[in-house]
Amino acid sequence: MFCFRPARAFMTIAAGLCAGLVAGAPSWAQSYPDRPIRVIVPMQAGTAGDTIMRIVTQKMSTSIGQTLVIQNVPDAAGLVGEERIAHAGPDGYTIGAMGDSLLTVLPHLQRRLHVDPNADFEPVSLVAFVTSVLVLHPSVPATDAREFVALARSRPGVLDFASGGVGSQQHMAMELFMEVTGARLTHIPLRGAAQAAMEVVSGRIPATFVAMSIAMPFIKDGRLRAIGVASRERSPLLPDVPTLSESGVPDFVLAPWVGIYAPRGTPRSVVERLNLATVAAVNDPGVRHQLIALGLEPQTSSPEELAQRTRAEHARMGRLIRANGIKAE
Number of structural domains found in the chain: 2
Does 305 lie in the same domain as 293? Answer: yes
Q: Please classify residue 152 by burial: count the beta carbons closer than 10 Å to its beta carbon, then call 0-12 exposed, 13-18 middle and 19+ buried.
A: buried
β 257-263/121-130 pair status? antiparallel
pLDDT at 27: 52
pLDDT at 329: 67
Domain presence at residue 306: yes
Q: Are 282 and 56 in contact (CB under 8 A)?
A: yes
The domain boundary residue, chosen from 211, 229, 247: 229
Does 140 lie in the same domain as 43? Answer: no
How far apart are alpha carbons 306 and 309 in whole angstroms? 5
Q: Please classify residue 207 by burial: count the beta carbons closer than 10 Å to its beta carbon, then call 0-12 exposed, 13-18 middle and 19+ buried.
A: buried
Does 163 lie in the same domain as 63? Answer: no
Does 109 lie in the same domain as 15? Answer: yes
pLDDT at 166: 87
pLDDT at 271: 97
**Domain boundaries, position 124:** 7-129+256-323
3-state DSSP of 191-247: CCHHHHHHHHHHCCCCEEEEEHHHHHHHHHCCCCEEEEECCCCCCCCCCCCCECCCC
DSSP H helical ranges for the chain: 7-24, 27-30, 48-64, 79-87, 100-104, 106-109, 145-154, 169-181, 193-202, 212-220, 268-282, 285-293, 303-323
Does 285 lie in the same domain as 225? Answer: no
Does 271 lie in the same domain as 177? Answer: no
Domain presence at residue 251: no
Does 201 lie in the same domain as 147? Answer: yes
Does 302 lie in the same domain as 314? Answer: yes
Q: What is the pLDDT along the chain (329 residues), one digit of tens a residue?
A: 334 344 444 444 444 444 444 444 455 456 899 999 999 999 888 878 899 999 999 999 998 999 999 999 988 878 899 999 999 999 999 999 999 989 999 899 887 778 999 999 999 999 999 889 999 999 999 999 999 999 999 999 999 999 988 888 899 999 999 999 999 999 999 988 888 999 999 999 999 999 888 899 999 999 999 999 998 889 988 999 999 999 889 888 888 899 999 999 999 999 999 999 999 999 999 999 999 988 889 999 999 999 999 999 999 999 989 988 888 76
Does 124 lie in the same domain as 261? Answer: yes
Name which of 206, 139, 140, 130 is nearest 168 in CA terms: 130
CATH number of the domain enclosing 72? 3.40.190.150
Domain presence at residue 248: no
Domain presence at residue 287: yes
pLDDT at 110: 81
The domain boundary residue, chosen from 185, 213, 229: 229
pLDDT at 254: 85
pLDDT at 38: 98
Q: Are 298 and 287 in contact (CB under 8 A)?
A: yes
Does 106 lie in the same domain as 22? Answer: yes
Cis peptide before 236 (omega within 30 of 0): no
Q: Are 228 and 247 in contact (CB under 8 A)?
A: yes
Q: Are 166 and 109 in contact (CB under 8 A)?
A: yes
How far apart are alpha carbons 161 and 172 in whole angstroms? 12
Domain presence at residue 260: yes
The domain boundary residue, chosen from 188, 213, 229: 229
Does 313 lie in the same domain as 216? Answer: no
Does 172 lie in the same domain as 308? Answer: no
CATH number of the domain enclosing 149? 3.40.190.10
Q: In Å, how far from its chain's centre is CA 111?
A: 23
Domain presence at residue 240: no
pLDDT at 11: 42
- What is the enclosing helix (H) or strand (E) of 259? strand 257-263
